[in-house]
Amino acid sequence: MAEHPIYVTSPLLPALEEYLPYLEKIWATKTLTNGGPMHIELERALCSYLGVDYISLFTNGTVALITALQALEISGEVITTSYSFVATAHSLLWNGLTPVFVDIDPDSFNLDPSKIEAAITPRTTAIMPVHCYGGPCDVDAIQAIADKHDLKVIYDAAHAFGVSRKGDTILKHGDLSILSFHATKVFNTFEGGAIICPDAKTKTKIDRLKNFGFVNEISVVDFGINGKMSEINAAFGLLQLKHIDQAIAQRRQIDDHYRHMLQGVKGLHCPAQSEDVTQNHSYFPILVRDDFPASRDEVYERLKQNNIFARRYFYPLISAFQMYSHLESSAVSNLAVANKIANQVLCLPIYPGLSTSTVEEIAAIIKGF
Ligand SMILES: *Cc1c(COP(=O)(O)O)cnc(C)c1O
């Protein structure tokens, strides 16, 4: 029994005194928002850290998703996944778009490219895949389909901060990629998000859309929203960046230790990324398969009785929520793999500061069945 409750994640939160110099700078300039010095500095620092050319910071990842769709003038139907956080599909509804759910690949949990073309109709204008748990989508296959059918690709990369393949960031694929800097994510600004843009022109458009559509003091040319990141959030992001490499390294150690402790347990599967992916270890999903002596929910409950709060990401599927369940593409028969994985998956606690002994305790509880 864990002494204190152990949650699936705990935010990266540097010591209080480390925040003070950042706050002093803001108090000195009296600039609180609207693209102040912290905002400019964080955009520069993130471009450099992530290896991207242009980034536009947002108040959160959901408004970034909504704005990305608006910026590309997406209409009609968008192909996406039901195996994600609900904000992925909600961003489509906020733009008056119809989500069309396509099933996932059983190994990567990402959109299965071989099933995308069958879902394309004359109304389809875009694909919105998710790099689930930070694992890269099959970006080449998805781009080939998009090129063939003249579709835009907007990646929900909320989980993919800092992920690269063969040394290249995965955030430069498709037309736009969206990040979330929510407290629960690997890199946080308390609340925050961003759009990765391919060029200066697109960034200018997106920057305008997040500021009500203003081009200058007296002209509004788009029905934009207020999506701006404040100076406090940007400053907190700069501080996070100082700690992020160490935080990801600690996550990697926890990931390795879980794998070591859980290896060979019958009916339990710990999905792995290919060797050429540099992960951020944002999640540690396990699959509790039919030949495990207990169900996924029994494992979840047993952990809870021991003060350990694992999460069933992603259960229920987005397609099961009432505002989506009526869609033809939400049928269980259309999403057989996603439904199966949603009933088997459990994300175990992983965050910097989670002790080796707690990892061992969690593994022992699971092995106790
Ligand atoms: C967290 C998350 C979002 C939403 O980001 P917020 O910053 O919380 O608005 C969107 N998509 C996915 C896949 C997420 O995990």
State the pLDDT at residue 273.
Answer: 87
- Asked whether residue 228 falls in the same domain as residue 252, the answer is no
* Confidence (pTM): 0.98
Residue ending a domain, among 193, 218, 239, is 239
Domain count, the chain: 2
Residue 76 lies inside a defined structural domain of this protein: yes
CA of residue 61 to ligand 1 center, whole Å: 5
Answer whether 80 contacts ligand 1 (Cβ < 6 A): no
Asked if residue 261 and residue 214 are part of one domain, the reply reads: no
Residues 106, 194, single domain; the answer is yes
**Arithmetic mean of pLDDT over the chain:** 97
Atom from ligand 1 closest to the CA of residue 65:
10
| Residue that is last in its domain, among 239, 267, 302 | 239
Q: How many CB atoms lie within 10 A of CB 123?
A: 12
Q: Could you tell me if the CB of 143 is within 6 A of ligand 1?
A: no
| Same structural domain, 212 and 337 | no
Write the pLDDT tens digit of every residue in 77-132.
999 999 999 999 999 999 999 999 999 999 999 999 999 999 999 999 999 999 99
Contacts of 364 (CB under 8 A, 6+ apart): none
Separation of alpha carbons 290 and 354, rounded Å = 29
- Confidence grade of residue 3 (pLDDT, cut at 50, 70, 90): confident
Cβ(233) – ligand 1 distance below 6 Å? no
CATH number, domain containing residue 280: 3.90.1150.10
- Is 330 close to ligand 1, i.e. is its CB under 6 Å away? no
Based on the fold, state whether residues 230 and 267 are members of the same structural domain.
Answer: no
Q: Does residue 170 share a domain with residue 153?
A: yes
pLDDT in tens, 179-191: 999 999 999 999 9
> Which range marks the domain in which residue 283 is found?
244-367
Instruction: Say yes or no to pLDDT of 1 above 90.
Output: no
Confidence (pLDDT) at 163? 98
Q: For residue 272, tell me if it sits in a domain.
A: yes
CATH number, domain of 208, equals: 3.40.640.10
In a domain, 6, yes or no: no
- What are the distances in angstroms from CA 101 to CA 120, 170, 345? 11, 23, 19
Token pair recorded at residue 31: 């600039």
Give pLDDT tens digits for 314-366.
999 999 999 999 999 999 999 999 999 999 999 999 999 999 999 999 999 99
> Ligand 1 test: best mutation among 59, 85, 86, most atoms within 8 Å of CB?
85
Instruction: Say how far apart CA 318 and CA 343 lie, in whole Å.
Output: 13
Same domain? 256 vs 152: no
Count Cβ atoms within 10 A of the Cβ of residue 10 and give its class: 0-12 exposed, 13-18 middle, 19 or more buried: middle
**13-25 residue pLDDT tens:** 999 999 999 999 9
Task: Tell me, yes or no, whether 212 and 279 share the same domain.
Answer: no
Look at residue 313 and tell me if it is in a domain: yes
Q: How confident is the model at residue 6 (pLDDT cuts 50, 70, 90)?
A: very high
The residue-averaged pLDDT of 262-268 equals 97
User: Would you say residue 274 lies in a domain?
Assistant: yes
* pLDDT interval class at 60 (50, 70, 90): very high
Is residue 63 in a domain?
yes
Distance 237 CA to ligand 1 centre (A): 17
Residue 159 Cβ < 6 Å to ligand 1? yes
pLDDT-derived band of residue 64, with 50, 70 and 90 as boundaries? Answer: very high
pLDDT at 2: 82
For 298, left (φ over 0), alpha (ψ -120 to 50), or beta?
alpha
| 286 & 220 share domain | no
Amino acid type, 21: P
Residue 199 domain flag? yes
pLDDT in tens, 119-176: 999 999 999 999 999 999 999 999 999 999 999 999 999 999 999 999 999 999 999 9
Residue 4 lies in a domain: no
**Does the beta carbon of 85 sit less than 6 angstroms from any atom of ligand 1?**
yes
Q: Please tell me the distance between residue 141's alpha carbon and the centre of ligand 1 in angstroms.
A: 24
In the reported structure, the alpha carbon of residue 353 is separated from the centroid of ligand 1 by a whole-number distance in angstroms of 23
Residues 90 and 218 in one domain: yes
Query: 57: Cβ below 6 Å to ligand 1?
Result: no
Of 239, 258, 278, the residue that ends a domain is: 239
Atom of ligand 1 lying closest to residue 181 CA: 7
CA of 291 relative to ligand 1 center, distance in Å = 33
Q: What is the pLDDT of residues 278-312, one digit of tens each?
A: 999 999 999 999 999 999 999 999 999 999 999 99
| Residue 301 sits in the same domain as residue 360 | yes
Place of tokens 């040319």: 221
Ligand 1 atom with least separation from CA of 132: 13
Residue ranges of alpha helices (H) inside the chain are 16-29, 37-50, 61-71, 87-94, 139-149, 200-209, 231-262, 296-305, 336-344, 356-367
The verdict on 282 and 178 lying in the same domain is no
